[in-house]
Amino acid sequence: MTIVDVLARNAREYTGDVALVELNPEQQENRRLTWRDYDLVEPAHKPRCYRREITWGVFDEKANRFANALISLGIGKGDKVAILMMNCLEWLPIYFGILKTGALAVPLNFRYSSDEIEYCLNLAEADALVFGPEFIGRMEEIAEKVSVGRLLIYCGANCPTFADDYNDLAQNCASVFEDRGLTEDDDAAIYFSSGTTGFPKAILHKHRSLMHACIVEQNHHSQTKDDVFLCIPPLYHTGAKMHWFGSLLSGSKAVILKGTKPKFILDAASEEKCTIVWLLVPWAQDILAALDSGELKKEDFNLSQWRLMHIGAQPVPQSLIRRWKEYFPDHDYDTNYGLSESAGPGAVHLGVENIHKVGAIGVPGYGWEVKIANPDGTEVARGDVGELCLRGPAVMTCYYRDEKATADTIKDGWLFTGDMAMQDEDGFIYLVDRKKDVIITGGENHYPVQIEDFLAAHPKIKDVAVIGLPEPRLGEIAAAIIELLPGVECTEDEINEFCKSMPRYKRPRKIIFAPVPRNATGKIEKPALRKKYGAEGLIAGQMT
């Protein structure tokens, strides 16, 4: 079975049940439409509405229409179709329409510049690109080059002249599609690495990976038909999509929220009766800050049905979860570890029954094996630091068109993640840091995540990132970039005093009060910080 088969099953068994809801709280018009209502409005007059929804039956019909459109344009098995769109109700039907043809879906990061878009299209050898209105400007810069031998399809109102119109293509095609007999061994998708350690690599997955991600998610979080999943992160990333796969497998409703303000999140959870919410660390921090300040009051929202809050994509400060449980004592909590090379989250997970181990990323996920290894692949002793390695059904096939990088990453079936970790006496795994982020001071290894976790407990700190800066005598020193909570003041002396309970060798040598940049999936953009603060001509006064 593939995820295409799961969608077809849902369309048969839950035809009239709501599958997806799109909420756009930035819009003032509180007009609520089904997709069929929305389709009846001429493109030039479509309202920018607050809420749209589609059923499982319409979801499958939309995917079928787009699949037929692609086939009519010559797209078929083994071809690649890229998606460059913001989260919206059209995103997933387009994704499934591509898969139904036997082509590979190639989601692109919505933050890519025009040059990066062109690079990724060429690397993936994409035969077509579907893009949304937010990207017209970037596409205009490269349309002449990337349209050579490649279809450009526009999804939105007022189609530019250099692209075909998605609505015209899809609406004129049949709503049924002939099954192509796909198997788990067929190639399914190319995802791109987040680029936090360099230019993105293309990651090839088979249908087996996507199906295993469905099974892992439902096994870990026990989704039923009655659950409602609130999806906020970008769908181009494996994290958001693979968590939604639990809703796909259970046939339950999911809500796509366009906006990350605390009130937007709590309103959505309240109004749509969401039971499962996946947050990134900054969003959880913002919610807590809004509740602490009185900007929002928990009692103004109907949140009694919310059963699970989980976080992934980055290390989670223990202090954050302790504070969360003070406001939401009835919530189950889980954290999930994974990467695009392992088809997203769940290769390691804490488990809702293990909240006493907050701080750990957990134990091997369903169907996964884990080892902590030396560079030669041998396992380190329990309690020692080594590289986290994964083995299971959802390990990528390869880095597409990069044999060397593939050989460096997959060894004897094990995926070497580049993350440094350790395992405690109970078998729980703790993420120590990215291999490339380790700071070597005077010959000793320092792990920024450990320092960040310690500093995150300071009551005035909203977010923190620790990076290595060049130092002539020691080689590198640890610098802490600290983002304070809104409206509070803090001095270097206060931070240094707080750090006195930390071993001296771990204490940051420099303190920088500044915003902490994170990418769309919540990861700290450390290359940007190293570039900004590691330059020799650092402006006097930026550091203390």
Q: What is the DSSP string of 335-369?
A: EEEEEGGGTEEEEEE--GGGGGGBTB-BEEPTT-E
**If pLDDT is split at 50, 70 and 90, which confidence band does 438 have?**
confident
Mean pLDDT (whole number) for 226-230: 98
Q: Contact at 8 Å (CB) between 261 and 26?
A: no
pTM of the complete model: 0.82
| Between 276 and 237, the higher pLDDT residue | 276
Whether pLDDT at 285 is above 90: no
Q: Is the dihedral of CA 43, 48, 53, 56 positive or negative?
A: positive
Q: Contact at 8 Å (CB) between 142 and 91?
A: no
In this prediction, residue 211 carries a pLDDT of: 97
In this prediction, residue 198 carries a pLDDT of: 53
Looking at the DSSP assignment, which residues form a beta bridge with residue 332?
Answer: 308
**If pLDDT is split at 50, 70 and 90, which confidence band does 45 have?**
very low
Q: Contact at 8 Å (CB) between 202 and 212?
A: no
Cα–Cα distance for residue pair 288/256, rounded to 1 Å: 22
Q: Contact at 8 Å (CB) between 209 and 323?
A: no
Residue type, 372: I
Q: What is the CA radius of gyration of the chain?
A: 23
- Domains in the chain: ranges and CATH: 3-221 (3.40.50.12780), 444-533 (3.30.300.30)
In this prediction, residue 103 carries a pLDDT of: 98
In this prediction, residue 474 carries a pLDDT of: 66
Whether pLDDT at 536 is above 80: no
Mean pLDDT (whole number) for 412-434: 90
**If pLDDT is split at 50, 70 and 90, which confidence band does 419 have?**
confident
Mean pLDDT (whole number) for 134-162: 95
Cα–Cα distance for residue pair 260/525, rounded to 1 Å: 19
Cα–Cα distance for residue pair 542/544, rounded to 1 Å: 7
Residue 281: count other Cβ atoms within 10 Å of its Cβ: 21
Element (H, E) at 129: strand 128-131
Cα–Cα distance for residue pair 40/20, rounded to 1 Å: 19
Cα–Cα distance for residue pair 386/384, rounded to 1 Å: 7
Mean pLDDT (whole number) for 19-25: 95
Which two three-digit tokens encode residue 73? 């344009």
**If pLDDT is split at 50, 70 and 90, which confidence band does 196 have?**
very low
Which two three-digit tokens encode residue 7? 């969608």
Residue 443: count other Cβ atoms within 10 Å of its Cβ: 7
Residue 217: count other Cβ atoms within 10 Å of its Cβ: 28
Q: Contact at 8 Å (CB) between 288 and 320?
A: yes
Give residue for tokens 């930026």. 542
In this prediction, residue 216 carries a pLDDT of: 96
**If pLDDT is split at 50, 70 and 90, which confidence band does 358 have?**
confident
Q: Contact at 8 Å (CB) between 534 and 469?
A: yes
Number of residues that this document lists for the chain:
544
Mean pLDDT (whole number) for 31-55: 60
- Strand 228-231 relative to strand 253-257, pairing: parallel
Cα–Cα distance for residue pair 320/309, rounded to 1 Å: 12
